Amino acid sequence: MTTDTHRAMTFFEGLEAPEGWRAELVRGEIVLSMSSDLTANLIVESVRDRIPHRRWHSVTTQDVSIPGRVSELQPDLVVWARGAAEVRGRAIPAPAVTLVVEVVSRTSVLRDYRTKRELYAEGTVPAYLIVDPVKGVCVLLTEPTVAAASGPPDYVAERTTRFGEPIPLDLLGITLDTTEFQPCS
């Protein structure tokens, strides 16, 4: 770890975001964004309620670190198997995570669809669910691949569904009912 990288991580770890904001370290840059609105919170609650809690941890406001990168992201929901990894401290290493969920806002579109897609793929998170209340769709990305000579890390499989259609989350052994998801106004 370079001195600059170490300084950035040390500064970020001591940073307290103002009330109503959250902070993420994205490729070495600190990004502040407003906390989720009611639409996003209700979507996250709906997803979280459907995850079998005896088998899975599902938490909000949990940082996920991308190994080898100066990135510590805070998805709207993080899911990992109980007992699958010894997790302690501030951030869960991305390889221990099974699913991340990001609910898109008007200001997070590029970050959620491109930047975080690349970072979660690079961190080998098996499934990334983008819930987009602006468009009224969900995008499930699975089968992460590392960067190739032809481009950045990405996911091989992509499935887009409209709100109201079920989403099979095979890694969790469930089908996600999205009938409660509401588009933002």
Output the pLDDT for position 22.
67
Residue 94 near residue 79 (C-beta atoms within 8 A):
no
Write down the pTM of the prediction: 0.84
With a cut of 90, say whether residue 47 has pLDDT above it: yes
Q: What are phi and psi of 102, to 5 degrees?
A: -120, 130
Residue 62: which pLDDT band, with cuts at 50, 70 and 90?
Answer: confident
Residue 130 near residue 100 (C-beta atoms within 8 A):
no
CATH architecture of 36-176: Alpha-Beta Complex (3.90)
Largest interatomic CA distance in the chain:
49
Sign of the C-alpha dihedral, residues 110, 36, 33, 50? negative
Buried-exposed string 139-152: b where 16+ CB fall within 10 A, e elsewhere = bbbbebeeeeeeee
User: What digits encode the pLDDT tens for the residues 102-153?
Assistant: 999 888 888 899 999 999 999 999 999 999 999 999 999 999 997 666 678 8
Output the pLDDT for position 102.
95
Average pLDDT over every residue of 16-29: 63
Tell me the three-class secondary structure of 1-41, residue by residue: CCHHHHHHHHHHHHCCCCCCEEEEEECCEEEEEECCCHHHH
Average pLDDT over every residue of 50-62: 92
Output the pLDDT for position 66.
85
**Start-to-end C-alpha separation, the chain:** 45
Output the pLDDT for position 12.
57
Output the pLDDT for position 20.
62
Q: What is the mean pLDDT of the chain?
A: 84
Output the pLDDT for position 157.
95
